Amino acid sequence: MLNISDNSINRDVNREKYSGLVRVENYRSGHILLRLLSALSFLFLILLFIPWTQNIRAKGKVTTLMPSQRPQMIQSVIDGQVKEWFVREGAKVEEGDTILMISEIKDDYFDSDLLSRTQMQIDAKKSSAQAYGSKVNALNDQLKALARSRDAKLTQAQNKVEQSSLKVLTDSIELLAKTINLEVAEAQFARLEKLYKQGLKSKTDLESRTLKVQKTNAERLSAKNKFLTSKALLNSAELELEGIRAKYQDDVAKVNSSRFSTISDQFTAEGSIAKLENQLSNYEARQGFYYITAPQAGFVTQTIAAGIGETIKSGEDIVSIMPAQYDLAIEMFVKPLDLPLLTNGQKVRIEFDGWPTIVFSGWPNTSYGTFGGEVFAIDNFISDNGSYRILISPSPDEEPWPDLLRVGGGARGLVLLKDVPIWYEIWRNLNGFPPNFYETKAAVVADKK
C-alpha cells in the first residue's frame, strides 16, 4: 500500500484472512540484499588474489617444421603435351616414381634420330678440327724450311757482299798506287822537260818520259774503272742481300697469315664442337624431362593439368604432392607489441579446429581439449600482414598431437607468460600495459650462467 491518503484503512483490514500480505509486510529484503552483497564482495576479494597466467592469444594454421615437408607443386621443366598419367589423386608415390609422361610440341625436337644426327655433326667437326691441326703442323714445317733456306741464302749473300767489299778495298788500293805512280811520272816528266829546255837532255829522253806518263795515266784509268766496277758489284751484292731478306720476309708473312687463319678455323671448329656437345647434352637431358617423377615420397593431392593432350608450359604447376613424412608445427602471427615477450622454448597451449575444447585462458591447467607446444622459431622480419610469424612445435613432455591433424588446418594458441594475481591483470588491462616481461637481476644472472 502506498499510503498516499490521510485516511488509512490499515486498521480496518483483517490480516488473518490474507496470509500473503502478512508475509510481505514481515519480509526483511534489505537485510538479505546486504548480506548477499557482502558475501559477493568477500568472494570477489578472494578471487582477486587467485593466480592468473598471463598469455598472448594468436590464430594460426597447421604447417610443418621443415620447408621440404610442406605441400609442393611439381612443374614441368620444358613445354609439352600430356601424353599419359600414371597416378590418380590420393595415390601414394615413392621418390622417383613416374607421375605422367609428356610429348614434344616444338618442331626443333621432332626428329626421332636427333641424338645420332647431332653426334654425326660432332664427329664431322672433330675431323675438321683435326684437319686444321694437320694443316697448322704442315705450315709450321714450312716455316722451319723457309727459315733454313733463308739462313743459307743470307749467308751466301753476305759472303758475296764481303767478297765484293774486299775487292773494292783491293781495287781502291791499286787505284791509289796508280795515282801515285802517275804523279811521280808527271813530276819526272816536268823535270826532264826543264832539263831538255836547258839542253841537258835529248829529245829522245823527253819523248820516252812522255810515253811513260801516258802509260802510267792509262794504268790509273784502268785501275779506276776496275774500282768503280768493284764498287758497283758491291752495291749489287748489298741489294741482292736486301732482296733476299725482303723475299723471305714476305714468304714467312704469307705462311704465318695462312697459319693464323688455319688456327682461327681450328678454334672455330673446336667452338662448334663444344656447342654441339652442349646441344647433345641438352637433348639427352630434355628426353629425360619427358617423364615427370616424384621428388620425394608422398601423396598426390591435386592434379591441375588433367586432360590427355592438354598443353603445358615450362614452370606451370601440374600436380601437387604432400610428403608422406613430416613434422607438424603451428604457424602463428603475433602483434609487434607482443614480440618482446616471446623466446624460443616458451610453452604454448593449442586448440585445433575439429577437436572440442573448453579453454580458460588464465588457468591453462584447467582447460580441456588443448595440446601442449613450445616456440620453435621466431621470424626476424615482419610479415606482409603487419605481424611477426612464429613456429610452434609439439612439446615432448606432453600428450602428442592428434594423428588426424592435416597441414593447413586452423589452430589457436595461448602463449603462456608469467603467473600473476587477478587483481594485477585487471589493473594492467585497465591501464593498457603490456604483460609483465621484466626479469629480476638474479634470474638474468642465472640465465647467463
CA distances from 200 to 134, 186, 203 (A): 94, 19, 10
Question: Would the pLDDT of 260 be above 80?
Answer: yes
How many other CB atoms sit within 10 Å of the CB of residue 332?
Answer: 26
pLDDT at 190: 83
CB 57 within 8 A of CB 413: yes
Nearest to 100 by CA among 75, 68, 135: 75
Q: What is the pLDDT of residues 29-57, one digit of tens each?
A: 556 777 788 888 888 787 777 776 667 77
C-alpha cell at 215: 802509260
63-91 burial, b if ≥16 CB within 10 A, otherwise e? bbbeeebebbebebebebebeebebeeee
| Fold matches, 53-67+326-448 and 114-288 | no
- 3-state DSSP call for residue 331? strand
SS3 428: helix
Least confident of 87-96, 221-230, 296-305, 408-417: 408-417
Q: For residues 169-185, give the mean pLDDT.
A: 85
**What integer pLDDT is reported at residue 263 of this predicted model?**
92
Report the distance separating Cα 161 and Cα 240, nearest Å: 9
As a CATH number, domain 114-288 is 1.10.287
* 405 CB burial (10 A radius; 0-12, 13-18, 19+): middle
pLDDT for the residue numbered 15: 61
Residues 1 and 192: their CA atoms lie apart, in Å, by 202
Summarised one tens digit per residue, pLDDT across range 121-165 is: 999 999 999 999 999 999 999 999 988 998 898 888 889 888 888
C-beta separation of 57 from 334 below 8 A: no
Q: What is the pLDDT of residues 422-437, one digit of tens each?
A: 777 777 767 766 666 4
Cβ atoms 175, 227 nearer than 8 A:
yes
Cell numbers given for 73: 607443386
138 sits in which H/E element: helix 114-198
Contact 79, 313 (CB under 8 A): yes
Which residue is associated with the grid cell 832539263? 195
Distance CA 64, CA 125 (A): 54
Q: What's the DSSP call for residue 15?
A: G
Max Cα–Cα distance, the chain, nearest Å: 225
Provide the pLDDT for residue 1: 47
Domain boundary assignment for the chain: 53-67+326-448, 72-101+290-323, 114-288
Instruction: Give this prediction's pTM.
Output: 0.55
53-67+326-448 fold:
Elongation Factor Tu (Ef-tu); domain 3 (2.40.30)
Give the integer Cα–Cα distance in Å for 148 and 140. Answer: 13
* Range 72-101+290-323 has CATH code 3.30.460.10: no
Cβ-based neighbour number of residue 364 at 10 Å: 17
Q: Tell whether the model's pLDDT for residue 23 goes beyond 70.
A: no
